[in-house]
Amino acid sequence: MLTRRFVLGALSAATLAAPASMAMAEEIYIPLVSKGFQHQFWQAVKQGAEQAAEEFDVTITFEGPDNETMVDRQIDMLAAALANNPKAIGFAALDSQAAIPLLKQANDKGIPIIAFDSGVDSDIPVSTATTDNLAAAGLAADKMAEKIGGKGKVAVVAHDQTSRTGIDRRDGFVNRIAEKYPDIEVVTVQYGQGDHLKSTEVTKAILTANPDLDGIFGTNEGSAIGVVNGVQELGTEGLVIIGYDSGKAQKDAIKSGLMTGAITQNPVGIGYETVKAAVAAMKGEEVPALIDTGFYYYDASNIDDPKIAAVLYD
My answer on whether 259 and 152 are in the same domain is yes
My answer on whether 139 and 164 are in the same domain is yes
- Please state, in angstroms and rounded to a whole number, the distance separating the CA atoms of residues 28 and 313: 29
My answer on whether 143 and 257 are in the same domain is yes
My answer on whether 127 and 137 are in the same domain is no
Q: In terms of DSSP H, where are the helices of the chain?
A: 2-26, 40-56, 71-83, 100-108, 133-147, 164-180, 196-209, 221-234, 248-256, 267-282, 306-309
pLDDT of residue 26: 64
My answer on whether 251 and 160 are in the same domain is yes
pLDDT of residue 159: 97
My answer on whether 45 and 122 are in the same domain is yes
My answer on whether 102 and 71 are in the same domain is yes
My answer on whether 237 and 124 are in the same domain is no
Quote the pTM value.
Answer: 0.85
Residue of 222, 218, 229 lying closest to 258 (CA atoms): 229
Amino acid (one-letter) located at 271: G
In a domain, 18, yes or no: no
Range of the domain at 202: 133-264
Residue 220 class from Cβ within 10 Å (0-12 exposed, 13-18 middle, 19+ buried)?
buried
In a domain, 122, yes or no: yes
My answer on whether 85 and 161 are in the same domain is no
pLDDT of residue 18: 39
What CATH number is associated with residue 43? 3.40.50.2300
In a domain, 231, yes or no: yes
My answer on whether 273 and 246 are in the same domain is no
In a domain, 3, yes or no: no
Q: How many domains does the chain have?
A: 2
Q: How many C-beta atoms lie closer than 10 Å to residue 50's C-beta?
A: 17
In a domain, 306, yes or no: no
Mean pLDDT per 10-residue interval, the chain, length 314 residues: 30 37 64 90 95 98 93 97 97 94 97 94 95 97 98 98 95 98 98 96 98 98 97 97 96 97 96 98 96 97 95 90
My answer on whether 227 and 247 are in the same domain is yes
My answer on whether 104 and 137 are in the same domain is no
